[in-house]
Amino acid sequence: VSLWRNGGSCSSSPSNGAVYPASSAVMNSVKKPKMEQIQADHELFLQAFESEILNTLLLFGMKLIFSLPLLPIYLHRTLTFMSHRNGRSNARRKTFKVDDMLQTVERMKGEQDSLSLSSHLQLTFTGFFHKDEKPSQNSENEQSSVSLEVLLVKVCHKKRKDVSCPIKQVPTGKKQVPLNPDSNQTKLGSYPSLLVSSNEFEPSNSHMVKSYSLLFRVSRTGRRAANGLVNGEANENIDVIDTPSRKKRSSSHREEGETTETFVAQMTVFDKNRRLQLLDGEYEVSMQGMEDSPVSKKRATWETILDGKRLPPFETFSQGPTLQFMLRWTGDASGKSTAPVAKPLATRNSDSSSPMETRTSNHRAALMAVKESVSTDIKTRKEQVLCEPRQKLRIFYQFLYNNNTRQQTEARDDLHCPWCTLNCSKLYSLLKHLKLSHSRFIFNYVPHPKGARIDVSINECYDGSYVGNPQDIHSQPGFAFSRNGPVKRTAVTHILVCRPKRTKPSLSEFLESEDGELEQQRTYVSGHNRLYFHSDSCMPLRPQEMEEDSEDERDPEWLREKTATQLDEFTDVNEGEKEVMKLWNLHVMKYGFIADNQMNQAIMLFAENTGAHIVRRNLCRNFLLHLVSMHDFNLVTTATIDRAMARLRQIKEELPDAEEEEQQQGQALVSAGACNGNSITSTGGKQGKRTKSALTD
Amino acid sequence: MVLTGKRSEKGPACWKRRVKSEYMRLRQLKRFRRADEVKSMFNTNRQKILDRTDILNQEWKTRRIQPVHIMTSCTADSGFSEFSKQVIPLKTLNAVASVPVMYSWSPLQQNFMVEDETVLHNIPYMGDEILDQDGTFIEELIKNYDGKVHGDREGVISLSQYSDNEEEDEEEEEQQDFKVEKMEVCDGKEHPEEPRKEVLKFPSDKIFEAISSMFPDKGSTEELKEKYKELTEQQLPGALPPECTPNIDGPNARSVQREQSLHSFHTLFCRRCFKYDCFLHPFHATPNTYKRKNLENLVDSKPCGIECYIEYPAGEVAEQAKTPSKRTVGRRRGRLPNSSSSRPGTPSVSSETKDTDSDREGSRAALVKCSVLVFCAEGNSRCQTPVKMKLIGEAEAVEWSGAEASLFRVLIGTYYDNFCAIARLIGTKTCRQVYEFRVKESSIIARAPAEDEDTPPRKKKRKHRLWATHCRKIQLKKDGSSNHVYNYQPCDHPRQPCDASCPCVTAQNFCEKFCQCSSECQNRFPGCRCKAQCNTKQCPCYLAVRECDPDLCLTCGAGDNWDSKNVSCKNCSIQRGAKKHLLLAPSDVAGWGIFIKEPVQKNEFISEYCGEIISQDEADRRGKVYDKYMCSFLFNLNNDFVVDATRKGNKIRFANHSVNPNCYAKVMMVNGDHRIGIFAKRAIQTGEELFFDYRYSQADALKYVGIERELEIA
């Protein structure tokens, strides 16, 4: 389960499963037979869940590293069921005035100044743990403390002449820190603590500081130690400190020696974007021997994960050396914390915020909570975390496996998602999130006196198949789901704005449905999660074609042709009439006129659109006949006739070759009806089989 | 001549032989021609397909297919040393799910009426199994069509032993070809030296004798001769059938009567679809009896220019003109009481005419006048001078071409005495010339429209009360709901009120605006006066399962906002075609399905179920085949007609049947036509598949009997 705590990092090792009370007994190595049984049970559990967990993690890992376009990146605060995460409200917009902006900024600046002047960074060191030591009570006469030096490292902006970034190290103090202390014995007040004035974090005079970080340097006069590594031993209290910049850095230090050993660790306080990285909380930082070369960052890519190679961060934490400390931002040396938890989020959101960062911050918060929940464990080495409990709710995750005959329970006191550590804040949101985002599992909500129970079982129907919109696949042919490595894809941007009617959120929707698991199998992706086809050609509809309703036009081509041929069939309708009728029919079909009162307008539009054609084809009189006929049907007024004809005359005059054509018309009078030549050929006896007189009789 | 003599000696036997061989040749020729036609048609189709594929291929080429690391490769080893081993990387293609079967259909957004098919167009194939199982099916099917199968030549059922040399349906054409050919043959042989023009000489009787003996059922020799004459006459270039009016814009335009000029327009125009020879209504009413509501043809009392006929010095022409014009005006029910007497142009007239009109028409009349005046000015500036010259000199000697005369007669029936307007529309004549022509033509002049005599004009007061009774009547109609709903056909019974004999009344339909009865007819649906959305039973239209009529319902907004989609009236979606965007995809249930693109609310209109409108008999015949296919798109429209979306339709035809559907169908009366609307039964989310229960339409007032067919796609 330790896996859960490190959403980003990855390996699932059976040896880490010590969270469960049963397994923790292993470490005491008391009851061997029971242990075997437990081990077997554990194997079963892992069989059931491991691959799923791994895959889940993989997905998340991939997402973190590559931000796969196919996995939508939701801004959690914009999800409806997470709306409480959206801190902003639009209420202020109403009163917003541009002129106020400067004022506001100035005021804020002033406040900040006064605030930061008085605030400190308080570090309280709980202890230095090194695994190759025996528990401290066994070696009381031995060295019980190490000396710690804390330096504030300021990385400044490179100036033109500088070869590398100038670095300033400001010593902030030296303390003696207990070595492998027993958390039950010591009180908080007795811990050494250190204050760093926030003035230090102000821009320094000569150089513009890029980032601030704390450098911890622990030196201890070493003594030979037995190799204290116990295989299978695990520490449930391990804590992963991963600021994004310093992920998986540490490695175990197993050197033996009599000389003074020096361990170092560095943590970023403000990154180069001046974003606060260290919030109030309890930290455990893994230290590193000075002589060790840090693990190459490159190894931490997902490819190595895929190979199944394990990275050793947990062992680092189980074996030490680690330094534990509490961090507080205080207004004054003893005052309350002035750095509210939400503040860093706000600062992060200020620019180029990505879900990854958000997750990390949440992740960190989750870690603290995890500690609380497992603090009852036997091997607890630290006292209660000072954090006030945020939630009274206790959530029991009940893992059902082996055909739902076995179960293991894990309790948590917060509403973080155990898989991705997202802080859901509300039970409803948590359940919704679990259901929607972790479809490998089936979650069922069961009310519980102390809070809630969530039954977790493997979704047998989950086949890893793609549940997104197949259009995305279609639009990106190739090997979108190749597991052999990342593939480059054409970028598709979807703007997801959806405001459907929503039912009132109710926890009852997560209760196990009576009709079995049927409901569970349904994908929760609503909307267009299928590939559509053109209705005429059965060709797949491409995303860019989604918007137009292509096959639903009022006048499809065949109908336009049909009306023409149908009119051509008449033997007793002359070509001039036919042509005007065809033009008019096409006009009506195009615009879909349905009412008598549209006709005046329709006629004018007709004159406008086809006027030039009518003049060119010498159909003016037929056009007039058409108008008069419309008038006879009581559909248009004489005023419309007048206007339409006037427009036609106007068009005639505007036509560049109008005069020429008139001359041609004169000639045409002599030659045999060439002016309507086209229609003559089409109407010549052959096709005609219908007569209009037959229609009325 | 010697030659002919020789041939005649050989006697009729020789001729008969020649007739036969000639006939065979022509038949073959025809067959070849047909084969060529089919071939070329096939080729053009093929070309179309190729072009389309090319376009698609081009599109695909532009897309980049991502290379993949090839893991495995295929090798082909050869047993012979001289052939080297061939290696090619293995490329795996993902399986693509096949799409369901779709029979081709034509898209349509409005119903399309087709006639009954008297012959079976094709013998349906539905797999060998079915045919083996049920051999009698095809036979029964053919029996339904009285044994007639399309293209039944060599015959599935051999109709006649004479099929070698006789085809009933094509005989006519063949004979025509035949005879022309024959004639050419004869003439060509007899007068080989003569120019082609002279060929048109009547062939000798022997030929006809030979033909008639060869085909005795085609009539006697004399009959054949007559037929020959008839057929050859039509071959003259440019000739039109006698009943066809020559093109008024063409060179052969003749001077004809108004009715003749407008005959095509009047008969072919569908007053309901506003189209000529529409697809939906086989019978069109002619406008003869339509009454004119608008009194817009006021005599333009102001002269259109200096040379206007009004300004014409009072002389003999004016005196002549007075008599006929008086008559015409007098017929107009005294609307212009003094216009005839004071016509020669005092300004007072115009104001008077205006006053006599009703309020509504007054403004319109003013508008007309206004526009007319504008045109006057236009006309003036353009053609004033040349006309002047002509007029003074040769007032009487103007020649009227056939087209002009016809046009004049057409216009005089519309504009009556507004000669200025007529002249402007004719374009080539001045109003004075028109006036003079009018005087000449006085005997045949068009009459002013007669006011309806059947019903006395009603007072406005009554109108509202009537409307209230109508609403009650609708209610009544609904209560005594009969199971049968009949198709609407505009009634036309002049001088007869809509009583029990009226087809609308007997069919329990309302009279519509298309009916020829008076607008005050008791059976007319008055439309609604809603100011709301017309989507409750408060609205009489909604209650009567009708969509609001844009020309009757003037307050709800059904007749406004043509350009925008925001219509306040929600009861006019079918006519406006306000359909939702539908998407086609393989169904979750069976076959194809239709999916909605955007979410809709309950009772919102989704789409009209369009298709061919066929008679109930035709539907029974077609249904037999469809039932065999287990796929039917038939939908009962009313007692007379069925909508069949098999061949023509729109996307909603893919909606599957469900007993728990999310849509319902409702047959509504939409501007005189029954149409099927598909509406949302509940709120539907984006991307949901649409279903409706085919058996029960929700329209309470419209209950259907008849064959209930399930729309289940196998």
* Predicted model pTM: 0.56
| ipTM > 0.95 for the complex | no
pLDDT of residue B337: 38
DSSP readout, B452-504?
P-SSPPPPHHHHHHHHHHHHHHHHHHHHT--S----------TT--SSTTSHH
Per-residue pLDDT, B136 = 75
**Count of pairs with CB atoms under 8 A, one residue in A, one in B:** 281
Check pLDDT > 60 for residue B312. no
Residue B33: what pLDDT?
93
Is-contact A8 A245, C-beta < 8 A? no
Minimal Cβ distance to A527: which of B294, B407, B687: B687
User: Do residue A692 and residue B267 have CB atoms under 8 angstroms apart?
Assistant: yes
Facing residue for B375 by CB, picked from A624, A646, A680: A646
For residue A668, what pLDDT band results from cuts at 50, 70 and 90? very low
Q: Which region among A491-505, B33-47, B151-165, B413-427 has the lowest average model confidence (pLDDT)? A: B151-165
A133: left (phi over 0), alpha (psi -120 to 50) or beta: beta
Phi (first) and psi of residue A97, to 5 degrees = -135, 145
Per the CB < 8 Å rule, is B414 touching A628?
Answer: yes
A668, B265: Cβ pair inside 8 Å? no
Give Cα A512 to chain centroid, integer Å.
Answer: 28
Q: What is the pLDDT of residue A59?
A: 46
Interchain CB distance below 8 Å, B248 and A576? yes
CA angle A468, A472, A475 (to 5 degrees): 165
Beta-carbon separation of A634 and B293 below 8 A = yes
Nearest-angstrom CA–CA distance, A521 and A460: 9
Q: Could you tell me if B297 lies within 8 Å of chain A, comparing CB atoms? A: yes
Name the residue among A558, A555, A552 with its Cα closest to residue A584.
Answer: A555
Q: What is the pLDDT of residues A125-134, one digit of tens each?
A: 888 877 654 4
Q: Please, what is the average pLDDT of chain A?
A: 64
Structure tokens at A480: 């979108």
* Closest CB from A485, A530, A668 relative to B585: A530
At B101-134, the pLDDT tens digits run: 888 888 888 899 988 888 888 777 777 666 666 6
Summarised one tens digit per residue, pLDDT across range A322-349 is 788 888 877 654 444 444 333 333 333 3
Q: Would the pLDDT of B37 be above 90?
A: yes
For chain B, the 3-state helix, strand and coil shares in percent, each to the nearest 5, are 40, 10, 50
Determine the residue among A633, A652, A662, A689 to mutate to test chain B binding: the one whose Cβ has the most chain B Cβ atoms within 10 Å: A633
CA closest to B598 among chain A residues: A527
pLDDT over 80 (residue B193): no
**Closest-CA residue in chain B for A641?**
B425
Name every chain A residue with its beta carbon within 8 A of the beta carbon of B411. 624, 628
CB spacing of A552 vs B651 below 8 angstroms: yes
**B291:A695 CB<8 A:** no
Tokens 């403000």, residue located: A270
Closest CA to A424 of A395, A387, A453: A395
Minimal Cα–Cα distance from A465 to chain B, Å?
13
Q: Which class for B702: exposed (0-12), middle (13-18), buried (19 or more C-beta within 10 A)? A: buried
Closest CA–CA distance from residue A574 to any residue of chain B (Å): 6
CB-based contact, B378 to chain A, within 8 Å:
yes
Question: Inter-chain contact A567–B427, Cβ cutoff 8 Å?
Answer: no
Please give, rounded to a whole number of angstroms, the shortest distance from the CA of B272 to a CA of chain A.
8
**Alpha-carbon span B238 to A574, nearest angstrom:** 11
The owner of tokens 């081509």 is A557
pLDDT of B347 above 50: no
pLDDT digits (tens, 9 = 90+) for A587-627: 998 888 888 888 888 999 998 888 888 888 888 888 888 98
User: In this predicted structure, what is the pLDDT of residue A640?
Assistant: 87
CA closest to B49 among chain A residues: A537
Nearest 5°: the CA angle B563, B569, B571 is: 110
Q: Is B279 close to A598, i.e. CB distance below 8 A?
A: no
Q: What is the largest CA-CA distance in chain B?
A: 120
pLDDT in tens, A57-85: 444 444 333 333 344 456 676 677 777 77
**How does residue B252 score in pLDDT terms, banded at 50, 70 and 90?**
confident
Q: Residue A561 pLDDT more than 60?
A: yes
- Convert the pLDDT of each residue in A197-209 to its tens digit: 777 776 655 556 7
Report CB contact under 8 Å: B686, A527: yes
Nearest-by-Cβ selection for A632 from B276, B287, B585: B287
Q: Does B273 touch chain A (CB under 8 A)?
A: yes
d(Cα A231, Cα A318) in Å, to the nearest integer? 11
The pLDDT, as a whole number, for residue A390 is 44
Q: Which of A477, A533, A633 sits opposite B65 (nearest CB)?
A: A477
DSSP A419-465: TT--B--SHHHHHHHHHHH-TTEEEEEEEETTEEEEEEEE-TT----
B408 touches chain A (CB under 8 A): no
Model confidence at B38: pLDDT above 90: yes
CB A150 within 8 A of CB A176: no
For residue A513, give how far its alpha carbon lies from the nearest alpha carbon of chain B (Å): 20
Q: Is B291 on the interface with A (CB under 8 A)?
A: yes
